Structure 1
Amino acid sequence: MALGSLGSSEDRRSLRLILLDLILGLAGFCGSMASGHLFKQMTGHHSGQGLVLTACSVSCATFALVYSLLVLKVPESTASPRTALPAVDTVTGTIGTYRTLDPDQSDKQGVEGYPPSPGKAVPKKTVIALLFVGAVIYDLAVVGTVDVMPLFVLREPLRWNQVQVGYGMAAGYTIFITSFLGVLLFSRCFRDTTMIVIGMVSFGSGALLLAFVKKTYMFYIARAVMLFALIPVTTIRSAMSKLIKDSSYGKVFVILQLSLALTGVVTSTVYNKIYQLTMEKFVGTCFALSSFLSFLAIIPIGIVAYKQASWLQYGDIAEK
């Protein structure tokens, strides 16, 4: 993600990062489609069950490591110089223009007729912190759902076999494709915060539907509602990259990823415990909780959007 940010301009960064996720999704889709069949082929040979899948995984991971060490290079940043005039985005239906999420640009341009007001300036660290909080809460919802889903589909009322599980996972990876198309479309007319909220609403609604799934077709309907679920975290990364210097991309993304990883460990433990306690009473409890968390994550993003609205009026953000 850091290399992708360095190699893209600000106005195309969200699209570049979601494109990287799209490649991940396509690879995951192919792997998921094949995994159930490969595992089923080894069912008759108990001693070697899963050996083919393990060998494939290790081989791919080894190739990725070698490729990263020997082939990948740090690209030269394509970001505009700090002394250059800032890029200005125009929103249909909005009088005047607003600046992108880049507080380091020297020009303090605001809406015509509204001069900058230092008292209304917003520290960029506050905005980054709010984006972090939104990403972590949303990741709680996503990780919890993803971890519980394999257990959910194996039990009543669905009771899927190996091949059906592979197809179900593949359906999940189509979200990478639909999210990419979503960013491709929405980035032309919406701000980053708006795209993030769209993705959170998409996932929250789908998770709520999952809580009441009784048939296989209902499961796929719920997954279809989640078609923009990948947009939030990717777009949050893009928004953060517009608030920091090029040399800090790697550090900030590593901190964010570590935060998400630690959150994921805790979430997996808690959600599995909740699932064990509630599977006989209401099997969809975890999905309902994920839906709540997804909508809760909108709050910090909404605050950032409100601050952006103040930039419309005052055209400034503090350099702190």
Structure 2
Amino acid sequence: MKGLFLIEPLVAFYAFANFLVYPLVPQYVYRRLWQELTNSTYPVSDNTSRCDPSNTSSHEEVQKAASLFSLYTELFSMIPSLAVTFILVAYSDQRGRKITIILPLIGSLFYALSFLAVSFFELNLYLLIVASFVSALFGGSGTFLGGCFSYIADLCEDGQQKTLRMAGVDMVIGLLSGVASLSTGYFLRAAGFNWPFFTSALFLCFNLLYAVFVLEETLQRPLDGSLRRTAMHQLAYGVYQLFAGASRRRQVLLILLLLLFGSFSFANMGGLSMITLYELNQPLCWNEILIGYGSALSMTVFLTSFVGVTVFSRCGVPNLVIILIGILSVMAGMTLVAFAKTTLMMFLVRLPMLLSIMPFPVLRSMMSKIVSKTEQGALFACLACLDSVNSSVAISVFSSLYAATVTWYPGFCFLLSAGLCVIPLALLVSVGLLGVDESKEAEVLIPEEEVLAGDDDPLLT
């Protein structure tokens, strides 16, 4: 049977399966810690007793323990996930993209099944940290998305097509993540934690079968003697060529764009990672239904950002202006979150963030256009690695800060997130002064010999 060159269904099911679990993780940890630290049952049907002013000390204690649990989870999973991501995505330039897609699916399936076992048998809560570590050995979402974006880069020749298709992948992630997040609250209230974890595992099994038996490989390279190097040798050579084998202008430009991508990702991820804990805390004290609605509304930014990128691109708006709008969107949203004290306000703060995802597909496309076809895997390995580092470090740092500041000002982390957006703004100005946004200049940044070599690559398009 002939395979398909269609990555979007894979991304859709991956997003649905994972975001069926992600909103439940902090809630499950929070409830277990509440039971252990307060020696009382977590109030599910009515949150009035949980939000009673007399329970303020219990709230603070559970909030600190939950944020530290998140910190330990990220610290134990960061290094293996980072190493695997960097190696696999760069290695895919020689052996194909599917390995970067299949292995993270196996890791996600293991994590979902581990969560199901801990929940069903009420095992020790800290076994989840072990499960996170083992899952990270297969790569994480950074590895999966790095492989998917490399897959798309192989198939797209036109720069605008590449931008729109990468933005489309972000849109698919947001759409299915929103549906999953919206259903988690009702699913949890109707069936408890076990059935959502089981459903997630079923979707991941289906995804794994699709990736192995249906998805076609974009790279069909002969395994001759010149390609039979060790994985680390190929990795080092690919990354070396990405920077050293280019003009000075491209080196500076690529480094600036990577720093811009990384600093914005850090600020955005750090703030977003603390929102669920903030919603569980006083005075909001959200239940699982409201958290599901909030998560679903947060996921709509992927859809609105895709529409924004599409409309702005069609209207000829420069890439740097699109990125600027996205950064300002995050700054405004995070600032408002820090002062949100009512349910209505907490829903409304999502509105300024509707275009917050726009910088990511635009930056990926800009970087992809200034490197040759043979360097796409190395580029997306760097991006996936950078994304993994930023996610892990941001969650670790902001979890520590939240634990330290929750007693006197829980919104401090969100103000810090907004303030850190000044760094990508400064880098954006530097990129603008370099004049990257002109498409003709971007083409010149790839050395002529690289373009000629890339034309001979046996890519299936």
Q: Shorter-chain TM-score category? A: 0.7 to 0.9
Counterpart of 1:184 in 2: which secondary structure? helix
Structure 2 residue 150 is matched with structure 1 residue 2: yes
Structure 2 residue 307 is the aligned partner of structure 1 residue 202: no
Where do residues 130-279 of structure 1 align in structure 2 (5 Å cutoff)?
130-188=256-314, 189-279=316-406
Q: Count residues in correspondence.
A: 270
**1:149 Cα offset (Å):** 0.4
TM norm structure 2? 0.55
CA contact (8 A) 1:207 1:288 kept: yes
Q: Which amino acid aligns with 2:433?
A: Y
| Counterpart residue identity of residue 187, structure 2 | L
* Deviation for aligned residue 1:310: 9.6
> What code does the residue aligned with 1:126 have?
V
Partner Cα distance (2:273, 2:340) in 1? 17
State how far apart, in whole Å, the 2-side matches of 1:312 and 1:148 are: 38
Contact 1:122 1:318 in 2 (8 A): no
Unaligned regions of 5+ residues in structure 2, if any?
Answer: 1-148, 220-246, 448-461
Following superposition, the deviation at residue 209 of structure 1 comes to: 0.9
For 1:177 and 1:315, the matched residues in 2 are separated by 28
Partner of 2:146: none
Asked if 2 retains the 8 angstrom alpha-carbon contact of 1:123 and 1:319, the reply is no
Residue 20 of structure 1 is matched in structure 2 by: 169
Contact 1:210 1:222 in 2 (8 A): yes
Structure 1 runs of 4+ with >4 Å offset: 309-320
Mapped contact 1:4–1:17 kept (Cα < 8 A): yes
Cα pair 1:123 1:317 within 8 Å, conserved: no
Residue 168 of structure 1 deviates from its aligned partner by 0.4
Distance 2:155 2:347 in 1: 36
Find the aligned partners of 1:194 and 1:122 in 2 and give their Cα distance.
Answer: 25
1:174 Cα shift? 0.6
What is the aligned partner in structure 2 of residue 63 from structure 1? 206
Match of 2:417 among 287, 290, 301: 290
- 8 Å CA contact 1:175–1:228 kept in 2: the answer is yes
Structure 2 distance, partners of 1:313, 1:130, is 19
- Shift of the 198–127 alpha-carbon distance from structure 1 to 2, 3 Å rule, reads same
**CA shift for structure 1 position 316:** 8.9
Cα distance in structure 2, aligned partners of 1:242 and 1:22: 21
Q: How has the CA–CA distance of structure 1 residues 171 and 311 changed in structure 2, closer, same or farther, with 3 Å as cutoff? A: closer
Equivalence for 1:104: none
Partner of residue 97, structure 1: none
SS at match of 2:274: helix
| Cα displacement string for residues 209-239 of structure 1 (whole angstroms, at most 9, x for unaligned residues) | 1111111121122111001111111211111
SS at match of 1:187: helix
Higher relative contact order (CA 8 A, sep 6+): 1
Q: Which amino acid aligns with 2:320?
A: T
Change (3 A) 1:314 1:58: closer
Give 1:122 deviation, angstroms.
5.8
| 8 Å Cα contact 1:26-1:173 kept in structure 2 | yes
Gaps of 5+ in 1: 43-48, 77-120
Tell me, yes or no, if the aligned pair for 2:265 and 2:387 is still in contact at 8 Å: yes
Answer whether contact 1:36 1:162 (CA < 8 A) is retained.
yes
In the TM superposition, what whole-angstrom CA distance separates every residue of 1:233-292 from its partner, at most 9, and x where no partner exists?
121111111011122222211221111112211211111111111112111110001101
**How big is the alpha-carbon RMSD for the aligned residues of Structure 1 and Structure 2?**
2.2
